[in-house]
């Protein structure tokens, strides 16, 4: 049963994954650190033109009609195929909670949102009910030979449903999926260029967990790796560094937009240091740092010369308060300042 | 909003993942091929006793009350953490379609089913609606300030909902989740031992895509791998072979049950050869071979001295016929023969 509104880019379809890197030497530029060379040597996803058209239409609509500010929210992990016919891949831990939740608060604060997300990761609004044991059958009940929402849940569902519909009806939320790191990078570049006309009214909220490493095509077997083909039962995987795209994003792809990157660490001692060095390296506006273990309780905003912590009390967490409800208004203050400063 | 019936083993919770392998030298037995040594050197998931209790209760209920045959269906990929605080992991490609669909046909053919699945992979019944762009919000509509199922979908949903409820009410479907390969192996062993009392009326339908390789704890960094920590931007991952558990499953864990393993390949020339060698190696009853590219159109049953192909025509596929609707009755014939032969 195909649901309505469902996009069919098949980003996680193995044939598509193969199509992406079958013919061209996709990863030939493995050793290079030059982002341009990456794109020169890597094949774009076959569906990219469709996405570009959708995004350009969405951006033009809001520029001409609503005048809303626009947030590009990236969310979820990226995959790195280990084989050309993708059976195995390396993934990053991310359900997409940060991105999906943040997107809702951007929308509630009057922004239009392009949600560039890992396919099947959490989505705004449906996140409240998805990733449950049985998706939604557990929320249903039968009465008089008709299926309906269990009254226990209908009130809260209606609330979420209305917000979701409001976002749909006002054409304020555009969902764009990806699966592999190559799909992510190409789509990010395409969206960024489509956003240039939005200048400083656009904010890039880069919450996706992007792989730092990938497998060069030249080293990738066509078929599933056979255990027997390995020496003394061992398998050695050599990964090359994914070129850093943030500098190119800041310098070329975007035009005056405010750019926010995320640092997810597990070692408290590294967090601030790495957030600051990212800021120095890429000259963008804001790094949001968080630890895997405490990311739902506290985050730190690191901007030039400033460190702001946002923390929830145990009581607030117990009451179901989401830290994004404080993060996004704080982000928007930074965006206000950025727009002022760039006048 | 926590859904009802939801199990909370948190198998994909990073803290739990850490808990599993924090203290003991979980992967110390990396080099060994002895399955027993694996368990001697690896820590079980903390929630395993809960699962054992649930499974033993389920098995006893059907042995004493319904007398149904019982199928253990494993489904979905397993993960291999690359770090102790799991940010990155190696995954196998599997949405769990084969397992979730097969489980439904086992249930429709009168079997009780233990569904050992990768958390958040597709589930029986909900699979018809989940993994859609917006889970179920797209199937809803509002009328008179009440949320209800869009009439366009309610008829088909009711059909699925009734089957789902029938499985619930008759206590015929037990959902057991896992995430990592270690969780999978421990849970499989526990379930197998609980199934011994079922003898030849149990069938093991091992459709999960289990990792062949894993990272020994001794080589696993405590924290997120830092790009800077790698030589010339490269990251080298050395994986050890996961011991083959099928022989131990056949010889020790199970007692007279019929055991079916799967071979997923991408190279047509290897499929039959590898299916046969698995059969010779493990002395079990049936290997179901399929190619990643055509797995929804054709499969091959390889049993001692026999090869049976099951194929769907393009027309059947166009009409929405699922190959599992032919696979499971064929499996059940094999199970009949097995029960006869072992009398």
The predicted structure's pLDDT at residue B218: 64
**B293 contact residues in A (CB cutoff 8 A):** 14-15, 85
In a domain, B59, yes or no: yes
- Put simply, the answer to whether B236 touches A234 (Cβ < 8 Å) is no
Average pLDDT by consecutive 10-residue portion of chain A (343 residues)?
Answer: 45 41 35 66 91 98 97 95 76 88 98 95 86 69 92 91 94 96 93 94 95 75 58 78 82 86 90 94 94 94 96 96 98 96 84
- The label of the residue with tokens 């992979």 reads B121
Residue A143, chain B, CB below 8 Å: the answer is: no
- Put simply, the answer to whether B135 touches A146 (Cβ < 8 Å) is no
- Put simply, the answer to whether A265 touches B91 (Cβ < 8 Å) is no
In a domain, A167, yes or no: yes
Residue B227's CB is within 10 A of a number of other CB atoms, namely: 14
ipTM of the complex: 0.75
pLDDT per residue as tens digits for the range A40-81: 878 899 999 999 999 999 999 999 999 999 999 999 999 998
Range of the domain at B150: 32-256
The predicted structure's pLDDT at residue B241: 84
Residue B217, chain A, CB below 8 Å: the answer is: no
Query: Is the per-residue pLDDT at B28 higher than 70?
Result: no
For residues B306 and B12, the model is more confident at B306
The predicted structure's pLDDT at residue A129: 79
The predicted structure's pLDDT at residue A71: 98
Instruction: Classify residue A305 by burial, with Cβ atoms within 10 Å: 0-12, 13-18, 19+.
Output: exposed
The predicted structure's pLDDT at residue B34: 61
Average pLDDT over residues B238-261: 85
What is the rounded (10 degree) CA torsion for B47, B49, B53, B55?
70
- Put simply, the answer to whether A241 touches B223 (Cβ < 8 Å) is no
In a domain, A4, yes or no: no
pLDDT per residue as tens digits for the range B182-221: 999 999 999 999 999 999 999 999 999 998 888 766 666 6
The predicted structure's pLDDT at residue B38: 80
User: Which CATH number does the domain housing residue B63 bear?
Assistant: 3.40.50.10300
- Measured in whole angstroms, how far is the alpha carbon of residue B22 from the centre of its chain? 25
C-alpha to C-alpha distances, B180 to B79, B117, B253, nearest whole angstrom: 4, 11, 20
Residue B231, chain A, CB below 8 Å: the answer is: no
The predicted structure's pLDDT at residue B251: 78
What is the rounded (10 degree) CA torsion for B189, B193, B199, B202?
-50
- Put simply, the answer to whether B126 touches A136 (Cβ < 8 Å) is yes
CA dist., res. A130 & res. B122, Å (int):
12
In a domain, A90, yes or no: yes
**3 state SS of B208:** coil
- Put simply, the answer to whether A234 touches B238 (Cβ < 8 Å) is yes
The predicted structure's pLDDT at residue A221: 65
Query: Is the per-residue pLDDT at B36 higher than 90?
Result: no
Which chain A residue's Cα is nearest to B6?
A133
Confidence of residue B131 (pLDDT cuts 50, 70, 90): low
| Partner residue opposite A137 with nearest CB, options B133, B161, B234 | B161
The predicted structure's pLDDT at residue A86: 63
Across all residues in chain B, what is the average pLDDT? Answer: 84
Chain A / chain B CB contacts < 8 angstroms: 243
CA dist., res. A44 & res. B99, Å (int):
33
Confidence of residue B108 (pLDDT cuts 50, 70, 90): very high
Confidence of residue B246 (pLDDT cuts 50, 70, 90): confident
pLDDT per residue as tens digits for the range B250-270: 877 778 999 999 998 888 889
CA dist., res. A19 & res. A45, Å (int):
8
Structure tokens at B36: 């027993």
Which DSSP string do the residues of A94-105 spell out, in sequence order?
--SHHHHHHHHH
Average pLDDT over residues B38-65: 94
Residue B149, chain A, CB below 8 Å: the answer is: yes
CA dist., res. B207 & res. B97, Å (int):
10
Smallest CA–CA separation between A147 and chain B, in Å?
6
Query: Is the per-residue pLDDT at B159 higher than 90?
Result: yes
Which DSSP string do the residues of B151-211 spell out, in sequence order?
HHHHHHHHHHHHHHHHHHHTT-EEEEEE-BHHHHHHHHHHHHHHHGGGGGGEEEEE--B--
Average pLDDT over residues B132-143: 76
| Partner residue opposite A93 with nearest CB, options B86, B146, B209 | B86
- Put simply, the answer to whether B292 touches A126 (Cβ < 8 Å) is no
* DSSP letter, residue B180: B
Beta pairing class for A88-92 and B79-81: unpaired
Residue B34, chain A, CB below 8 Å: the answer is: no
The predicted structure's pLDDT at residue A40: 81
Q: Which residue, among A33, A137, A143, A213, would best test binding to B if mutated, counting the most B CBs under 10 Å from its CB? A: A137
Q: Can you state the angle between helices B97-108 and B324-341, rounded to 10 degrees?
A: 60
Helix or strand (DSSP H, E) at A169: helix A151-169
Average pLDDT over residues B121-148: 82
Structure tokens at B103: 């489980």
Smallest CA–CA separation between A81 and chain B, in Å?
10
In a domain, A267, yes or no: no
**Number of domains into which chain A is organized:** 1
The predicted structure's pLDDT at residue B6: 43
The predicted structure's pLDDT at residue A73: 98
In a domain, B104, yes or no: yes
The predicted structure's pLDDT at residue A117: 96
The predicted structure's pLDDT at residue B231: 58
pLDDT per residue as tens digits for the range B56-106: 999 999 999 999 999 999 999 999 988 766 668 888 878 899 999 999 999
């Amino acid at each position: 049963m195909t649901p309505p509104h469902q996009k069919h880019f098949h980003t996680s379809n193995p044939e598509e994954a193969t199509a992406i890197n079958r013919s061209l030497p996709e990863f030939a530029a493995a050793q290079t650190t030059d982002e341009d060379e990456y794109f020169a040597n890597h094949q774009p996803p076959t569906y990219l033109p469709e996405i570009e058209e959708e995004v350009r239409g969405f951006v033009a609509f809001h520029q001409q009609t609503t005048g809303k500010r626009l947030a590009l929210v990236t969310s979820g992990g990226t995959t790195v195929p280990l084989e050309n016919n993708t059976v195995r891949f390396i993934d990053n831990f991310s359900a997409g909670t940060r991105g999906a939740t943040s997107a809702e608060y951007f929308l509630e604060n009057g922004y239009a949102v392009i949600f560039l997300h890992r396919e099947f990761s959490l989505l705004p609004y449906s996140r409240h009910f998805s990733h449950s044991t049985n998706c939604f059958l557990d929320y249903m009940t039968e009465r008089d030979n008709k299926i309906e929402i269990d009254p226990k849940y209908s009130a809260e569902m209606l609330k979420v449903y209305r917000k979701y519909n409001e976002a749909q009806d006002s054409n304020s939320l555009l969902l764009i999926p990806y699966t592999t790191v190559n799909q992510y990078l190409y789509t990010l570049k395409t969206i960024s260029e489509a956003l240039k006309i939005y200048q400083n009214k656009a904010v890039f909220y880069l919450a996706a967990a992007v792989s730092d490493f990938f497998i060069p095509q030249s080293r990738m077997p066509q078929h599933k790796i056979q255990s027997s083909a390995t020496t003394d039962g061992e398998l050695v995987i050599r990964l090359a560094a994914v070129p850093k795209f943030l500098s190119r994003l800041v310098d070329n792809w975007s035009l005056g937009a405010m750019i926010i990157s995320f640092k997810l660490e597990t070692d408290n001692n590294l967090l601030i240091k790495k957030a600051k060095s990212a800021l120095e390296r890429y000259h963008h506006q804001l790094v949001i740092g968080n630890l895997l273990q405490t990311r739902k309780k506290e985050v730190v905003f690191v901007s030039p010369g400033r460190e702001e912590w946002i923390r929830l009390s145990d009581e607030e967490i117990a009451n179901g308060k989401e830290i994004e409800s404080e993060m996004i208004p704080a982000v928007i203050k930074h965006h206000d300042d950025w727009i002022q400063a760039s006048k």
